[in-house]
Structure 1
Amino acid sequence: MTNVQILPLRKLNPDHSERLASQLMQAQENHVDLGSRVQHIRAAGETIQQLSDRLRIHLDVTSHQLADLGVAERCQAEFAILRKLVELTATLAGTARLFSLPEQREI
């Protein structure tokens, strides 16, 4: 029998999200300087990379399991799309992790 693995989800509290969105909109309307987002962007890049790595591992495991069952050929197109998604998210993660302000960039 195939082992089904569920990736963990982090649910956002709708009230908390709405409150944060409202505060952000108010700050933007009042032209409040919220400071640099470089560290947030870099941290998001790290999280995206971790998720991309985990998805790659799960795809490999699932691919091997389907091959063992003799049905991997039926899913080749879908796996190709998912692997491309992993590749693109890894590229996005790399870009975000290297993000810096224009004045911090080397010329």
Structure 2
Amino acid sequence: KALKSFEDLCSLCTRHGRRPLMRHSVQCKCLGADESCFANFIATAATGEREDAMLIATLLVRPDVAPLIASLAADVGHAFMRMRLSAPRDIETHSHDLPKTLH
């Protein structure tokens, strides 16, 4: 169910987005503005802040689609929480080894 919710969320954002969402290459180590907004949208929806999630959703898609993607984002966020995803702990120790990317 979580994968289907994520697929539907991405599909709806792509089809009904106010503009194309920008993303970085898979190999890129930085996080873009749209990627950050999308991640914060999912986190906001998953923590039960429905009104704030709806507000963010209206920035991403048409208003009539916003309730649907807010619900899907909550489902996806809950799945991520169950997976106990976390950032790598040693990112600072290896940051000097990463190639610099200019955008």
Alignment TM-score, normalising by the size of structure 2: 0.30
Which structure has the greater CA radius of gyration? 1
With a CA cutoff of 8 Å and minimum separation of 6, indicate the structure with the bigger relative contact order.
Answer: 1
Higher helix share: 1
Alignment TM-score, normalising by the size of structure 1: 0.29
